[in-house]
Amino acid sequence: MGNVPIDLAAELRPLLNLERAVETGTYQGNGARRLAEVFPSVITIELAQELHQQAAENLADTPAIEARPGDSRQVIPGLVDASIPTLCGSTATGAADPRPAWRTNAPSSARSPRSARAAGVTAS
């Protein structure tokens, strides 16, 4: 399980002209709220229906956040839009999962900050 790397996200957003964040694992919505302090648009996805419903109610006061139910493996393919530079990541990734938890579709010419590489943020 992980947390939203908000300092890294805040650093990368202007460098990569990121417009949107997509988070796997809403839980109570605290990570989505932090992301909404940085990004104009946040989509957060929660697998557990009850958690999704509670979080969606809590987050209704923040129009920049869209809470979606479901398994992100099924939801994210429907969100792919090459015209929207997006930081996409999971707070549900287990320590046993070697894949980088946060990725971006920003153009490769913009995707070179050393801090991004060091944190394992990769091209999607």
Ligand X SMILES: C[S@@+](CC[C@H](N)C(=O)[O-])C[C@H]1O[C@@H](n2cnc3c(N)ncnc32)[C@H](O)[C@@H]1O
Q: Which two tokens stand for residue 71?
A: 């398994």
Residue 69 φ then ψ, to 5°: -85, 160
- The residue nearest ligand X at its CB is 31
Closer CB to ligand X, 37 or 71, in the complex: 71
Q: Find the shortest distance in angstroms from Cβ 106 to ligand X.
A: 22
Length of the chain: 124
Q: Find the shortest distance in angstroms from Cβ 26 to ligand X.
A: 6
Closer CB to ligand X, 25 or 85, in the complex: 25
Half-sphere exposure (Cβ direction) of 104: Cα atoms closer than 13 Å: 27
- Give CA angle at 33 (89, 52), nearest 5°: 75
Q: Find the shortest distance in angstroms from Cβ 93 to ligand X.
A: 9
Applying CB under 6 A, which residues contact ligand X? 1, 3-4, 23-25, 27-28, 30-31, 45-48, 51, 71-73, 91-92
The letter for the amino acid at 64 is: A
Closer CB to ligand X, 18 or 55, in the complex: 55
Half-sphere exposure (Cβ direction) of 80: Cα atoms closer than 13 Å: 9
